[in-house]
Amino acid sequence: MPVRSVVKGVGAYLPERVMTNDDIARIVDTNDEWIRQRTGIARRHIAADDQLTSDLGLEASRAALANAGADVADVDLIIMATTTPDNTFPATATRLQAKLGVTRGPAFDVQAVCSGFLYALTQADNMLRLGQARCALVVGAEIYSRILDWTDRGTCVLFGDGAGAVVLRAEETGNGKGERGILDTRLGSDGRFYDALYVDGGPASSRTSGFVRMQGQEVFRHAVKRMSESVEEALDAADLDLDDLTWLIPHQANSRIIDMVGRKLGLDSDHVVVTVEEHANTSAATIPLALTHGVERQLFKPGDLLGLTAMGGGFTWGAALIRW
Ligand code: UT7
């Protein structure tokens, strides 16, 4: 029987402080109507001054472990997707490992910006299926508020802070009716678009951490194309069709991007999970946040096919198919 990575639990964390569109309109020349119409965003959460990315990841991880009914001692792999690490090194995953009290297995970060969670999930899935780990914690956590230029209305209105986590276990699930877990993952990148979405700092280039810079329309076009195509590629690879897809759990950057991807994949809007209104774009955290939203509302039924997809800086993109 094939070994698959099965989602045993999900969890999310959003910092207490909420910043509405009206709050942002007091800082830069923008307004609630523009932000809602162009992006679907109503508010974002902002980390407290003394909170680090590892703290957000810790809250989400604890929630995911509780949801899985798993003991922290079971965890033998931690992969954290983040673009806003606590420090340049070591990996924020190692700090999370220590805060959780995990002492075995590797812990490392993955940096693929908004596609980071899918890159991390893919790596965990491969290690679980190869028998290199039995119980993985895959975390997406970000504090974007610290890399935003709060004078640039073209970017500062779009992002927020947050974290989400998933507990995966290697299980023999069988084929056909008994099939469960991650069926396929697809990843891609094209570094020719490095400058279309980047941070203008970093230890090697400027000794500062820098701020987000973005060519919004270029990113928008590519996001719609890459997100929909990568789901189709994953379906092809798993010998499935668009008709088999039950749910779309897309990266939450902009509700217009999400609508267009959903339409291209032929899904009704009530089968597309949209949470961007509540927390804006939290980069690597949006997919586990959206998954948790769906689980809390009992949207997914056993046997449903979930399509996860994202696109982000690099450009990077990817998709994963999960049989629930
Ligand atoms: O994970 C990937 C991360 N990034 C994304 O997914 C972003 C993808 N791109 C987008 O979501 C959209 O391109 C934006 C939301 C960033 C921008 O929407 P747009 O419809 O592409 O607007 P635009 O850049 O063409 O700007 C239209 C107008 C401009 O004014 P003029 O030149 O027409 O007078 C902008 O200066 O809107 C103005 N504008 C704003 N107005 C009010 C830009 N930002 C704002 C703002 N408030 N915050």
- Closest-CA residue to 248 (of 268, 271, 266): 271
CB-count burial class (<10 Å; 0-12, 13-18, 19+) for 126: middle
Residue 174 is predicted with a pLDDT of 75
Residue 177 is predicted with a pLDDT of 63
Amino acid present at 300: F
* Nearest CA owner, ligand 1 atom 44: 154
pLDDT in tens, 214-271: 999 999 999 999 999 999 999 999 999 999 999 999 999 999 999 999 999 999 999 9
Q: Which of 125, 155, 172 is the last residue of a domain?
A: 172
Q: What residues make up the domain containing 67?
A: 3-172
Q: Determine contact, residues 152/211, Cβ cutoff 8 Å.
A: yes
**How many domains is the chain partitioned into structurally?**
2
Return the ligand 1 atom nearest residue 155 CA: 16
Average pLDDT over residues 144-148: 98
Q: Is the pLDDT of residue 24 over 70?
A: yes
Distance (Å) of CA 52 to CA 15, 55, 142, 161, 289: 11, 5, 9, 10, 18
Residues 6 or more apart whose Cβ sits within 8 Å of residue 298: none
Q: Is 205 helix (H, G, I), strand (E, B) or coil?
A: coil
Residue 179 is predicted with a pLDDT of 87
Q: Which of 172, 193, 225 is the last residue of a domain?
A: 172
Q: Is 258 helix (H, G, I), strand (E, B) or coil?
A: helix
pLDDT in tens, 155-179: 999 999 999 999 999 999 877 666 8
Q: Name the residue of 21, 220, 251 whose CB sits within 8 Å of the most ligand 1 atoms, as the mutation to test its pocket.
A: 220
CATH of the domain at 232: 3.40.47.10
State yes or no: is 67 an active-site residue. no
> Are 23 and 160 in the same domain?
yes
> Are 151 and 203 in the same domain?
no
Residue 152 is predicted with a pLDDT of 98
Average pLDDT over residues 184-203: 98
Query: What does pTM read for this prediction?
Result: 0.98
